[in-house]
Homo-oligomer: A and B are copies of this chain.
Amino acid sequence: MVQLSDAEERIVAATPLFRSLSAEDIGVLLHGCNLVTVTRSQMLFAKGDPAEVSYLVLQGRVKLVQHDESGSEAVLRIFGPGETFAEAAAFMGGRYPVSAFAIDQCRLLQLKTRTLKAEIQRRPDIALAMLASMAAHLKTLVNQIADLKLLTADQRVAWFILKRLQLSEDGQTIRFPYGRAVLASELGMSAETFSRALKRLSRFGVAITGDVVTILNPDKLARYARVN
């Protein structure tokens, strides 16, 4: 059994995969899990590696990326504390279809697929939780595709800000959770375009100071990025 802080245990219990389970059920699933610590820009797995484990983020951020032969990369998604990833690949027993890198210093829980599968056989509701978790992933990806196809770069940035604003404390400011270059790639644009997009959004009441973004007029911004 791994050693987790109280805060970390709360994170685990709150994750979609485990939310519906009792503390002891979680204990069973975590039995024999590895706790791994990785440093900034370190690789967790490469595309094509045999997928034997999935991950739960406790601290830091992980980016899932796809590379092309020329070396440029596309960030598919970024996972933070409380989120799980690579469940699907691990579960299918195939190989990872993407690569994973730590953006920050990270603490991660490695979930053994074997244990997970075994538990599903015994406890069908774990399967339901897993289905729910994967359904959420699906929805995220579907929205991302729609955004890429329907919105301009500026609108995607605006949309990103608005989404974060909903989780914000004061409803007026957000802060960028990680570097702009990574953010740009996640939104499907170059770092330069992202920088310019931010500047252009000042027309709609967006002010940037360091890593803090102040949205003077959320409605105006929402009207510009009319989506969903």
Contact residues, A124-143 vs B (CB, 8 A): 124, 127-128, 130-132, 134-139, 141-143
Contact residues, A181-204 vs B (CB, 8 A): 185, 188
Question: When each residue 144-186 of chain A gets 1 if its CB lies under 8 Å from chain B and 0 otherwise, what string results?
Answer: 1110111100000000000000000000000000000000010
A76 within 8 A of B: yes
Contact B66 A138 (CB under 8 A): no
User: Within the complex, what minimum Cβ distance (angstroms) separates A64 from chain B?
Assistant: 8
A98 within 8 A of B: yes
A37 CA to B143 CA, complexed, in Å = 28
A18 within 8 A of B: no
For chain A, the count of residues having a C-beta within 8 Å of the partner chain is 41
For A92, the chain B residues whose CB sits under 8 A away are: 132, 135-136
A227 within 8 A of B: yes
- For A123, the closest partner residue in chain B by CB is B124
For A146, the chain B residues whose CB sits under 8 A away are: 66, 74, 76, 98
A120 CA to B124 CA, complexed, in Å = 7
User: Within the complex, what minimum Cβ distance (angstroms) separates A185 from chain B?
Assistant: 8
A6 within 8 A of B: no
Contact B148 A148 (CB under 8 A): yes
A185 CA to B142 CA, complexed, in Å = 14
11 chain-A/chain-B pairs, Cβ below 8 angstroms: A66-B142, A66-B149, A68-B226, A69-B226, A88-B138, A130-B131, A131-B131, A141-B141, A141-B145, A148-B148, A149-B188
Q: Report which A residues bind B (CB closer than 8 A).
A: 66, 68-69, 72, 74, 76, 88-89, 91-92, 97-98, 117, 120-121, 124, 127-128, 130-132, 134-139, 141-146, 148-151, 185, 188, 226-227
